[in-house]
Amino acid sequence: MEQVFLLKGLDCPNCAAKIEKEIGALDGVEESRINLMQQTLTLRIDSKIADTIEKQVEIIVHSREPEVEVSRSRAKNAVEDTDDQRKMLFRLLAGAILFIIGIFSGRFSLPVLMLAYLLLGGDVLFKAARNIAKGRIFDENFLMSISTIGAFIIGEYPEAVAVMLFYQVGEFFQAAAVKRSRKSIEALMDIRPDSATVIRDGQARTVSPDTVAVGEIILVKPGEKIPLDGIVLEGDSMLDTVALTGESVPKTVGQGDPVLSGCINQSGVLTVEVAKPFGESTVSKIINLVENASGRKAPTENFITTFARYYTPVVVILAVLLGVMPPLLLQGGWAVWLHRALVFLVVSCPCALVVSIPLAFFGGIGAASKHGVLVKGSNYLEALHRVETIVFDKTGTLTKGVFNVTHILPAPGFTEAQLLEYAGQAEQYSNHPIAASILAACHGATEDAEDYQEFSGQGVRAVVGAKIVLAGNDKLMMAQGVDYAPCGLTGTKVYVAVDGQFAGCIVIADALKEDSKEALRALGKLGVKKTVLLTGDNDEIAKAVSDELGIDAYYAQLLPHEKVEILERLDREKPAGSKIAFVGDGINDAPVLARADVGIAMGGMGSDAAIEAADVVLMTDEPSKLMEAMQIAKGTKRIVLQNIVFALTVKGVLLLLGALGIAGMWEAVFGDVGVALLAVLNSMRLLRK
């Protein structure tokens, strides 16, 4: 069974990782996952511990973060969050003022600096003592406590207070950064509608969207959010779809058009028939995807968590050796080497990495959401950065999935208008998609047909105005003895004959999307080395689409299981260390979406099965969104690597300089808090993309 707890006030990624690990190790807990953005803990547990798990969770959380409130309620109190920030800011300002007074107060400096130290670092000392009592020694609280107490012992009072002051400044900015990241995600949550106006017994009633059933009629007035997915029965309007798709251009809808929940009705009143219950609506799916996204950690995040767990005890041991071994060997200089050891401890704190790396991935997911790209976890965002092979479905992904007349080729003696009119009159009683395309092109038949006949697999025959009209494929022409001119263009060909004379050919094809060429061209610049097309269509059409788009290879006339087999073969052939992605939009694409390293669902919120199986969802049917998704993934990875290289380089240099006595406590403060703050600010750049 699954249980969700709210951890109100949890802002530290490092502490969250430790809490998640400890709770996951409890008996009966199958999975433990903390979502820092939503401040939630999701547990999958054995039903036998359902009654006791809340108490155990509370004990573990409070052992790490005593001020965090644990509850099963999802309600959040923004006023309390603001009060907490104000208290923290007041404490920082008071501590900073006392610190400045202490430096210039002469013989009273020690009491004033001691007061400033306790005001700023009292909670750090308390956490360190509590963790030591529980057997958890090597963490940032321990490093801060032992280094500052040591500084007091050797008479470096201002440095001791400065370490605590700047450490708390770093913690304040860390909390602010997490809060800003959370707000960027919560802005997307604003698309959730609060109410729906439903017509019941002839009366308009305002109800909760989750009480409206499929088939009921709702009214959506100008300025209101569409509460549920449905079909427009009456009215015309412009819809603001930016919250769903990231597109600023409004979409025009009218009678018969589908509308998605979360869009804002800008102009006319719409009468909509509900097509899906609230739990299955587009807005619910988006919210669920985004809320759960930050719970799936990228390999880099897991590496940093593991790295910090081993790194901290190693540097503590090195600091002890640095403070003890040289004085023993040199027979003196204890104060000098102890000072160097304390500098070494302050510099070594891993906050820059354990805070900034998760923040970078949160920022990447938030930036993608703003652009209409939903990434189900930071692990998929990182995998997208390493994609070098992309496999595409054709219909609805690279093409529009709608058959249209693309070429009208009249024979001598006939005009384009005549050819199209004859074809429309012959096809007017057919329900075939090809007939619908011809009728749409000629805007319906102008004269009724008589003696209508349909030849299975060939075409139709009809008498129109005393003339016998044939419309069909080459088999029909040959069967009826018509001397026709074969057409070499790609697409479905409809040959037309009038009273036995060949009148011409109409070509019907599934047109490419406007941005398909641009997207394929851009992917090459983003590091994609191979593109492949998989389609159930015939070889001729698959080849034409591949040639036009510059796709490296294609496979035609495939069934769903054959697509999976080919993807598995391509997976074995891909370069070592790279990833393979599949882009599709239909129910038949779900198996191959699930099999790919990164499954990407296209076509708006088309197929439920495709969206469930996919790791990334593109909210519009534009292939160019894939380019944006990869740009964000690569930008996120670039910032993560910048933070890692910057933090480790600066810390490595300062650790060496501290050990040699060149760097003092002030440089150590920059090596800890300064590096952490710069790394956090670098991560925040993603939210501005």
- Distance of alpha carbon 312 from alpha carbon 301, whole angstroms: 17
Range of weakest confidence among 378-392, 409-423, 577-591? 577-591
Distance of CA 43 to the CA centre of its chain: 22
Mind listing the domains of the chain with CATH numbers? 2-76 (3.30.70.100), 80-186+294-361+636-688 (no CATH), 378-398+513-614 (3.40.50.1000), 401-511 (3.40.1110.10)
User: Which amino acid, 439?
Assistant: L
Cβ contacts of 114-117, under 8 Å, gap ≥ 24: 114/157, 116/161, 116/165, 117/148, 117/152, 117/160, 117/161, 117/164
Residue among 303, 320, 19 at smallest CA distance from 142: 320
Phi, psi of 423 (to 5 degrees): -65, -40
Percent of the chain whose predicted confidence (pLDDT) is above 70: 86
- Distance of alpha carbon 528 from alpha carbon 194, whole angstroms: 43
Give mean pLDDT, residues 420-448: 82
Residues of the chain by 3-state class (helix, strand, coil), percent to 5 = 55, 20, 25
Distance of CA 628 to the CA centre of its chain: 12
Query: Which pLDDT band, with edges at 50, 70 and 90, does 298 fall under?
Result: low
Strands 40-45 and 2-8, by their bridges, are: antiparallel
Percent of the chain whose predicted confidence (pLDDT) is above 90: 23
- Distance of alpha carbon 295 from alpha carbon 185, whole angstroms: 13
The residues annotated as belonging to the active site are 393
- Distance of alpha carbon 273 from alpha carbon 145, whole angstroms: 64
Residue partners of 100: CB distance under 8 A and separation at least 6: none
Task: Specify the pLDDT at position 79.
Answer: 43
- Give pLDDT tens digits for 484-493: 999 988 788 8
In 10 A of CB 29, how many CB atoms? Answer: 19
Interior angle at CA 81, CA 76 and CA 86, nearest 5: 170
Crossing angle for the helix pair 109-133 and 78-103, nearest 10 degrees? Answer: 130
Range of weakest confidence among 3-12, 73-82, 267-276? 73-82
pLDDT of 290 higher than 60: no
User: How far is the CA of 518 from the CAs of 246, 522, 640, in angstroms?
Assistant: 19, 6, 28
Task: Please compute, for residue 375, the number of CA atoms within 13 A of its CA located in the half-sphere on the CB side.
Answer: 35
- Give pLDDT tens digits for 514-529: 889 999 999 989 999 9
Determine which helix (DSSP H) or strand (DSSP E) holds 426, and give its type and residue range: helix 416-427
Residue among 55, 590, 652 at smallest CA distance from 352: 652
User: How far is the CA of 453 from the CAs of 367, 425, 430, 445, in angstroms?
Assistant: 58, 13, 10, 17
Range of weakest confidence among 29-33, 35-39, 80-84, 579-583? 80-84
Q: Compute the CA torsion angle 77, 81, 87, 90 (nearest 10 deg).
A: -140
User: Which amino acid, 285?
Assistant: K
User: How far is the CA of 149 from the CAs of 122, 466, 676, in angstroms?
Assistant: 12, 107, 22
- Give pLDDT tens digits for 166-224: 778 777 776 776 666 556 555 555 566 778 999 998 899 999 888 999 999 999 999 89
Phi, psi of 584 (to 5 degrees): -150, 175
In the three-class reduction of DSSP (H, G, I as helix; E, B as strand; rest coil), residue 268 is classed as coil
Range of weakest confidence among 136-140, 159-163, 362-366, 508-512? 136-140
Range of weakest confidence among 365-374, 505-514, 567-576? 365-374
- Distance of alpha carbon 300 from alpha carbon 398, whole angstroms: 33
pLDDT of 470 higher than 50: yes
pLDDT of 326 higher than 60: yes
Range of weakest confidence among 244-248, 398-402, 444-448, 453-457? 244-248
Query: Which pLDDT band, with edges at 50, 70 and 90, does 549 fall under?
Result: very high
In 10 A of CB 124, how many CB atoms? Answer: 21
- Distance of alpha carbon 668 from alpha carbon 653, whole angstroms: 11
- Distance of alpha carbon 71 from alpha carbon 571, whole angstroms: 45
pLDDT of 456 higher than 90: no
Give 92 or 169, the one with higher predicted confidence: 92
Number of H helices, E strands in the chain: 23, 26
Cβ contacts of 552-555, under 8 Å, gap ≥ 24: none
Give mean pLDDT, residues 58-83: 69
